[in-house]
Structure 1
Amino acid sequence: MAASGAARKAAISTSSRLKQNRSSGPTRQTVERLQLGLTLASLRHQARRSQGEAGAVIGRTAGRISHVENGKGGFGTEELTRLLDFYGASDQERETVLALGSAARRRAPRRGYVDNLPEPFQRLAELQAASAKIRWYECGVIPGLVQSPEYVRALMALSNAIYWSDSEAETVERTEFRLEHQRRVLEAGTPKRIEVVFTEDALDNVIGSESVMRGQVLHLLQLPERQPGLGIRVVPRGTPDNPALGGGLVVLDFPRAPGVGFATVLHGAATYYDQAEDVEPMQRIFERVGQLALGREDTRALLIDRLKGAR
């Protein structure tokens, strides 16, 4: 009887160790874990705290803090609460982090992740800044990363009282955020490759005025000279068999992590995809529109012709 009890204890101990090993193994990076990590890193930097100091607050190593900040794990609610206290987080930041923490701990596979939390565009900017490569396609509009300041202002002005309540203050705030978003991504400390493709009718669709559009064309010519990793290409008007007419998409690649894709939307929460069955078709779509687009030099020639008034 004693031997049997000892055997059961040994079996339970072995099972417990196996479960512990499984739970401590590599964690797949997901959109939620990436967003949690980037948000925690941002709060820590704002609080001017080191990873070692943060780890000491919750009894973890600096390496574990780094692991989570890089989207490779998560923390429990109690640990997150203590970190948020340590960082002096606001009520809205606490709500966001705790919600992301809950989503990051989810083990069951899911397809799309809808970001309905406060300040979604802030997390989009952080994801893009942290990526190693960005592929961005738009139909009929200049992609956000390469919009000129005047184009951004005109776009936000015409969106006022349509996509949000009539508010000059919010229009200014959204304009400033878009420009800051561009700066953060284009001037990120780690060099990245950025491939931008859009359809030629984006140059015909006047936003603001003809003067704004002329400035936008000049911006498209000058920007790659300041950003060596940036490539801008145009799909010419009338190009047949474009599989992405009427839509837009962004695919983000991360070092040693699955790609993340999302379709750009006019309004509402962004839905992110990080499963291969969703991301791979988006990658193929971008590859196809890239094949239809002019090369960089031919795109440059087209833009110069636009400046000269050619149609």
Structure 2
Amino acid sequence: MPTGRQTVERRQLGLMLRRLRDRAGRTQQQAARAIGRDTARISQVETAKGSFSTDELKTLLDFYEVTEDERQTVLELGAQARKRQRGRTYTDQLPRSFERLADLQADAKAIGFYEAGVVPGLAQSADYIRAVIESGDGVWWDSSEQEVESRIAFRLEQQRRVLEADEPKDVALVLTEAAVDQNVGSASVLRGQVLHLLQLGERSNVTVQVLPSSVRNNPLLGGGLITLDFGDAAPRIAFVSVLYGSGIYHDQAEDTGPMFRAFERVRDLALDEEPTRDLLIDKLKDFKR
């Protein structure tokens, strides 16, 4: 199978296979025996340095006892990972794309998160998460209490994977002042969210900054961006968040360079940590009125 550059598709495939293997309670040695390969080959694919044939993937999925919907996603990812040529960007059009973005976040060493108008997912309190997800029930998916609870549980688990990782990640969160002021749920929900942001800011590996509405020359005005840095393990990735539909990934230097610079620019424009804390405390006073 081809080896070479660690594309987004290969990283998604490798991380998903590792997640499925862990869920099945299988070791790399057991997986290697199942497909008649050595352990190094399993490691190579799980770290996005190669791919499997369709038959090897099918055998592994049987071994991991993977359900039909996940199975089809893995096979599609496998086909994309084997392609030698593609465009400069990768658009994830497969089901439950948020799960693969979560895998990438959990694997990154440093994450930058900018959102306009809403608190970034990694920084949302439990009540804020519920209010945001319930507002989409019956709009982005057919109304379903089960779907709502599943999405809430997933986001809370994703926060745990990133914020409680054994090896602490550097997490930089930039949100607009409009996101703090946006009416989500109730005054009680907003107050709890601000308190949650203040608590997050006390962590040594997490930086919380607010970009005031009065600031000019915001290069990310109206958009959302996630930057993922894997250190020496893999090339950097930038993800452009969308309200609905397929997310777009950039993994080539000519694109990630400007996008990482844009994130650093909004960090420079945003309030430093202490002024951010003062602003959030002032917001708390407003919620008491």
SS at match of 1:118: coil
From 184, 194, 208, the counterpart of 1:232 = 208
**Contact kept? 2:200, 2:208, Cα under 8 Å:** no
For residues 1-311 of structure 1, the aligned pairs below 5 Å read 27-225=4-202, 227-256=203-232, 257-309=234-286
Cα gap change, 1:190/1:71 in structure 2, threshold over 3 Å: closer, same or farther?
Answer: farther
Deviations 1:10-61 (A, max 9, x none): xxxxxxxxxxxxx77x611111111111111111112211111111222221
SS at match of 1:197: strand
Distance 1:125 1:84 in 2: 21
TM-score scaled by length of structure 1? 0.88
Distance 2:96 2:154 in 1: 11
Aligned to 1:17: none
Deviations 1:151-199 (A, max 9, x none): 1111111111221222222222222221122112211222211111111
Deviations 1:42-89 (A, max 9, x none): 111122111111112222211221111111111111111111111111
> Displacement, 1:281?
1.6
Structure 1: 5+ residue stretches without partners: 1-22
Distance 2:182 2:134 in 1: 16
Structure 2: 5+ residue stretches without partners: none
The one-letter amino acid of 2:174's match is: V
SS at match of 2:286: coil
Distance 2:245 2:183 in 1: 24
The one-letter amino acid of 1:34's match is: R
Instruction: Percent identity, please.
Output: 53
Deviations 1:90-149 (A, max 9, x none): 111221111111111111142221112122111111110001110110111111100111
Distance 1:275 1:31 in 2: 10
Distance 2:54 2:167 in 1: 32
Q: Which runs of 4+ in 1 moved over 3 A?
A: none
Distance 2:139 2:251 in 1: 31
SS at match of 1:75: coil
The one-letter amino acid of 2:182's match is: N
The one-letter amino acid of 1:264's match is: S
Cα gap change, 1:255/1:61 in structure 2, threshold over 3 Å: closer, same or farther?
Answer: farther
Distance 1:169 1:84 in 2: 26
SS at match of 1:107: coil
Distance 1:162 1:48 in 2: 37
Distance 1:176 1:308 in 2: 31
